[in-house]
Structure 1
Amino acid sequence: MKVKRLILFIIIITLSLGLLSCTSYKSMLNERLSELNTNNDNKIADTQFQNIIQSLENKDKEGLKKIFSPNALKEANDIDGGIDYLMKFYKGKMKSRDECTIPSTDLVEDGEKKTELDCKYEVTTDEDTYIVFFVYQRVDTKNPDNVGVYMLQIIKKSDRKDQFDWGGDKTRCAGIYRTGATK
């Protein structure tokens, strides 16, 4: 009888340890997947950022227009005027940039997934310092025409307190946010 209890006790301990290791493995796997997604988000944001800066510095209006999603181009008020505005507003060649901030939002509703990145960079050129902010729709399984940049805002760093709100009620719009422009 004592041997049976001992065997049963060993089996219970072994199963408990096995279950604990599975839970630890799942937790470790979820952490690693989260890191990979963050790294991928950073790469996507950096690529979009480089495309924006390169288009501005080369005065490439069509290149800048191509970063926007098809739906953002449809919704935007005067995208061509916004691009002209940025081409005049942003001056100089990039000398440095600070690390970006990329909060992401994942929404899953009725099996449809949306992932949005809010990307903010501080850029110093040979003429001024700017904040470059853009909203990038990374995934939209329901409407793929939403994938791309939705909104782009570039302001002088000195105007940050008055003009920057992470694309909230004050500045969120399709296309290019222009200081002082009406939505």
Structure 2
Amino acid sequence: MKKSTLAMLCLLMIIISTVSCLAGCKSREQRLNEETEYEETQMKAVREKVIRCIKKDDKEGLKKLFSKRAQKDIEDLDGKIDEMLEAFKGKTIVSTKGESADSSRAYDYGKETITIYGDYTIKFSAGEKCTLFISFCDKNEESPDDKGVFQMELRMFSKEETPKDFSGGAYQDDHGIFIYTLQNYPKK
């Protein structure tokens, strides 16, 4: 009798463990969907803050979006923010459409780093378009000073107008504000 009770108890524990494990586990696809949704939400929030600062000509607000490290590393950040805001002077932004949001995740001994990259087509009331690339670190458990925007690249021309010999501008992880016009773009 003791053996059968013990066997039943063990079997019951195995069944309960299996059911709770299966119920608690998410599929890889579910986790990826949640991560993608999270990253798109974060990128949209950053994009809206950047556009709001540009529309309001808010130099300090734009500067605060940059990570502490980027604020230290970017030479003449105030001057570059002034240049960016100057590029938008006299133009009325009517829409900002996101083309993509890519991310990069790193795991180091249980510590997570999330870097998100997005590019947007900005349309002006006069029908002109430009492209704005924003790169920001959403999470860095090892270096909290890295959290925030670290790069903006503004191309004052649309993707359709991009010259064939355009080399692609800044490297993905460079800190800085990079502004290109059809007259000063980097050539291959």
Q: Is the TM-score greater than 0.5? A: yes
Aligned to 1:131: 131
CA contact (8 A) 1:76 1:173 kept: no
Alpha-carbon distance in 2 for matches of 1:111, 1:163:
37
Aligned to 1:177: 178
Q: Normalising to structure 1: TM-score of the pair? A: 0.76
- Secondary structure (helix, strand or coil) at the match of 2:57 reads coil
State the 1:33 CA deviation: 2.2
- Secondary structure (helix, strand or coil) at the match of 1:164 reads coil
Aligned to 1:146: 146
- Secondary structure (helix, strand or coil) at the match of 2:137 reads strand
Change (3 A) 1:24 1:133: same
State the 1:70 CA deviation: 0.5
- Segments of 5+ residues of structure 1 without an aligned counterpart are 1-14
Alpha-carbon distance in 2 for matches of 1:163, 1:63:
31
Q: Which amino acid aligns with 2:133?
A: F
Q: Which amino acid aligns with 2:99?
A: C
Aligned to 1:6: none
2:39 alignment partner, one of 24, 41, 44: 41
Q: Number of residue pairs matched?
A: 163
State the 1:58 CA deviation: 1.1
- Secondary structure (helix, strand or coil) at the match of 1:98 reads strand
**1:61 and 2:59 aligned:** yes
Q: Which amino acid aligns with 1:112?
A: K
- Segments of 5+ residues of structure 2 without an aligned counterpart are 1-14
Aligned to 1:95: 94
Q: Which amino acid aligns with 1:142?
A: E
Q: Normalising to structure 2: TM-score of the pair? A: 0.74
State the 1:104 CA deviation: 0.5
Q: Which amino acid aligns with 1:51?
A: K
Alpha-carbon distance in 1 for matches of 2:143, 2:24:
35
State the percentage of identical aligned residues. 21
